[in-house]
Amino acid sequence: MTMVKVGMVSLGCPKNQVDGELLMAALKKAGFETVDDAALADVALVNTCGFIESAKKEAIEEILELAQLKKEGRIQKLVVTGCLAERYREEIHRELPEVDAVLGIGANGQIAEHLRSMLAGNFVEAFPEKDRLPLCGERELTTPSYFAYLKIAEGCDNCCSYCAIPLIRGGYRSRTMESIEEEARKLVENGAKELILIAQDTTRYGLDLYGEYSLAKLMKRLCALEGLSWLRVLYCYPDAITDELLEVMAQEKKIVKYIDLPLQHASGKILQAMNRRGDRQSLTALLQKIREKVPGVILRTTLITGFPGETEEDFTQLAEFIKEIRFDRLGCFAYSQEEDTPAAQLPGQIEEEVKEHRAEIIMEDQMEIMEALGRRFVGSTLEVLVEGFDRYAECWFGRSAMDAPDIDGKVFFTTGGSKPTLGSFVKVQIDDCMDCDLTGHLV
């Protein structure tokens, strides 16, 4: 009997990507054949993101493209899972009749059972409780073998007024240190040299299980893994940056000196409306403290412009804050008005053009900052994780410890004809900074 081929398109953040890897491994274990290209499968599975409007549009476009392939007879069945399915179950069923199964995140643990029911001719809808989402298990990695994401918790309790994640994913749920350490060991044994810790809020890790912030203890344990070269942490919430965490980051050589700290804004008034704490003064003090305790740290943040009630004065304060702090890495997004969130009902909603224009101003200023900061590395030698060869530029490229995959820049380098191994570490002398990427040559 020919095995049914299942292909997945996974959208959105690395947290969703890990969910997709768990799904595909579960299907493979259940006897399905997994293929890399959903367009070449019998069953196309779209693991959607539904965080903001642009992500929802991307998911709908992907579903419609696969629906056309189904109409042409190139695929047989179309399944929608992930955040969009969880959040808009009724709309998907009503407006996308081409979809054969709509599964909430709590249904991931029974994915094979639901697909068999669908293949038997049933339309399948399943929305178990969110806390039934598997937090660990075998994964079919979609990242290169030399790095992997490691999800340490699910859900969120911060309840920022603009964010739908608690509605979609539920409350914060930490994994045990033992389960994380076991998975990390397997990933390293299978070739991962870099592990990237992720959660909606990594700094809250362990508070629900152990009664205290436990990220520092977890990272210290993971640093003991033989074969691990880099340990990176993303999505740190500013309120939970403890002295213990900073001390561990400064002391442990395997922890890359990189903190991703989504601040969202600098105006105290806007932060309060976002249901976040702090103001420009307190955030500046925190960032100064981080730089003092972790010398050479790379600071990354994300910001939102055009939040309801943001005045020109609030925006000016944000722009001045960016120029003062000089973040090494920064992303800025126009506010997305998400239904069922408190911020969607706030007065003072701002026109889309204004929101977008303000985000563009921030990013233009940041590009100048990053270009200037990049030039400080000219003449220095950096350790680079080799990721590939650029045929057009005729040079190799990779990432330094300063760069997280997919969101930060690259280091492009020539080798004098030698061919480094993908996933290996090499020494590169930096010769220039171009468009915020570094260029150099192998030494």
Mark whether 13 and 128 lie in a shared domain. Answer: yes
pLDDT tens digits, 392-437: 989 999 999 999 999 999 999 999 888 999 999 999 999 999 988 9
**Confidence band, pLDDT 50/70/90 cuts, at residue 54:** confident
Name the helix (H) or strand (E) containing 174: strand 173-174
pLDDT tens digits, 165-188: 999 999 999 999 999 999 999 999
Q: Do the Cβ atoms of 236 and 211 come closer than 8 Å?
A: no
Mark whether 311 and 422 lie in a shared domain. Answer: no
Domain-located, residue 139: no
Domain-located, residue 138: no
Strands (E), 176-319: 194-198, 230-233, 255-260, 298-305
Mark whether 361 and 382 lie in a shared domain. Answer: no
Mark whether 41 and 187 lie in a shared domain. Answer: no
Listed in sequence order, the residues at least 6 apart from 36 whose beta carbon sits closer than 8 Å to its beta carbon are 7
* Triad 390, 394, 399: Cα angle to 5°: 45
Separation of alpha carbons 102 and 81, rounded Å: 6
Q: Is the pLDDT score of 1 beyond 80?
A: no
Q: What is the CATH number of the domain that holds 399?
A: 2.40.50.140
Q: Which amino acid is at 81?
A: T
Full residue range of the structural domain in which residue 412 is found: 378-442
Mark whether 209 and 273 lie in a shared domain. Answer: yes
pLDDT tens digits, 3-39: 899 999 999 899 999 999 999 999 999 999 999 999 9
Mark whether 171 and 191 lie in a shared domain. Answer: yes
Q: What is the CATH number of the domain that holds 193?
A: 3.80.30.20
Mark whether 128 and 229 lie in a shared domain. Answer: no
Mark whether 31 and 153 lie in a shared domain. Answer: no
Domain-located, residue 425: yes
Choosing from 315, 338, 372, the residue where a domain stops is 372
Domain-located, residue 142: no
Separation of alpha carbons 55 and 50, rounded Å: 6
Q: What is the CATH number of the domain that holds 17?
A: 3.40.50.12160
Mark whether 227 and 273 lie in a shared domain. Answer: yes
Mark whether 388 and 367 lie in a shared domain. Answer: no
Mark whether 28 and 62 lie in a shared domain. Answer: yes
What total of structural domains would you count in the chain? 3
Choosing from 372, 394, 413, the residue where a domain stops is 372
Domain-located, residue 127: yes
Q: Do the Cβ atoms of 341 and 163 come closer than 8 Å?
A: yes
As a whole number, the mean pLDDT across the chain is 95
Separation of alpha carbons 325 and 299, rounded Å: 10
**Confidence band, pLDDT 50/70/90 cuts, at residue 303:** very high
